[in-house]
Structure 1
Amino acid sequence: MSEDGEKVRLRRIEPAIQKFIKVAIPTDLERLRKHQINIEKYQRCRLWDRLHEEHINAGRTVQQLRANMREMEKLCLRVRQEDIPVLQRMINPIKEEASFAVKGFLQLHTASAEELKKQLEGQEDASLTRSATVGGETLYNTEVKDGSQSLIQIQALLPEIPQEENAAESWETLE
């Protein structure tokens, strides 16, 4: 009974819990959804710098979501035992949605981070391939890990230089 003395009725804490359920957590979930959309878009468009920034921002959003969930759980611990079933019915849907969203983000993050890592490795190899390109023919580099498929990806990373620019003249002189 001494524990019940510290605990309060649900209706006393309900407004604070409702703020988490209806405002804070849905806001974080929506922000996380937007980050996921941006991550997929930047990955498709091969905007690696923006993709990296989006990963960082999405990670921060996940941290904020988890912090809000912990705060809501702390409030729930203050509720009296007899009010817990009602409380569980209130918070379970948002807890499940948050858990599902974080799991989905972590899967996307893992896949996207692997792709980003491959691209960064490809950019490092691109300078080797560029130096091995003579007269439009690519010389095969024996150090390429994935064979000709990687070589094709490396070639795709080379920027096209418009012929009317001074940089094109400099590049042709170097070749």
Structure 2
Amino acid sequence: MLLRPWSDGDAEALIDVYRDPVLRRWTRVPVEGPADAARWLAARHEGWVTGKYLSFAAVEEPPHGKGGEASRIVATVALKGPLTSTGVGEVGYWTAAGARGRGVASRALGALTDWAFVTFGGGGLHWLHLLHQVDNAASCRVAEKAGYELNAVLPVRPPFPVPGHLHVRRRVTPSDAR
């Protein structure tokens, strides 16, 4: 699996991934056609320009011996607000239907987390938050597998119709290990 920034060439794959009703249940921005995909990808590109939303496509290469197959997008992971004055960033993710149950989300989230702390830790990033609705048990498992501890149950807050879980992961520094 490779993490890379999203590209305009990912539009068709993105539309395909968003055909999944389970994914659509947990995401707030629908991608139903080329115009939606273009807007979604433009927002990711803008996030990189501003540094406020760093989003990666998680891509799997075909198995060896499958030369005719193309790589496929299996997930996304994103880091929001890594350079805030609070020292707190937020992570988010989704997993494509065909990749669920294989540890893709927790591996991608773990890689993003490690990258975020290495890249922005020296600039003051000390905590990462992960939020999900309490009824999303799969996201709870992903968070825990990626080292995010359940910290709080949050009240209903629009646009979320049910309470949420706040998971946190703290950057560990050499002085913490002593």
Q: Report if TM-score (shorter chain) is over 0.5.
A: no
Return the index of the structure with the highest Cα Rg. 1
Determine which structure has greater relative contact order: mean sequence separation of CA pairs < 8 Å that are 6+ residues apart, divided by chain length.
1
Quick check: which one's helix share is greater? 1
**TM-score between both structures, scaled by the size of structure 1:** 0.23
Quick check: which one's strand share is greater? 2
